[in-house]
Amino acid sequence: MEKYSVTDIPVGFLKALNGFMREMYNWEVEYYQKSIDAFDNDSSESDLEVEMRNSLLPIFQEYVLEGGRNYDRLENLVCGPHPEYDEDNDQVDIISIGEGEISVLIKKTRGLASVFRLHLSENNGLFKVCGRDLQSGQKWLKTYV
- What pLDDT does residue 7 have? 58
pTM of the model: 0.89
Q: Is 81 within the bounds of a domain?
A: yes
Q: What's the chain's length in residues?
A: 145
Q: What is the pLDDT of residues 33-78, one digit of tens each?
A: 998 888 777 666 788 999 999 999 999 999 999 988 999 999 989 8
Mean pLDDT of 99-117: 91
Separation of alpha carbons 109 and 80, rounded Å: 14
- What domain range is 41 assigned to? 6-142
Where residue 97 sits, what CATH number does that domain have?
3.10.450
Nearest of 41, 120, 34 to residue 80 by alpha carbon: 34
What average pLDDT does range 73-92 have in this prediction? 92
The domain tally of the chain equals: 1
Looking at the domain assignment, is residue 1 inside a domain?
no
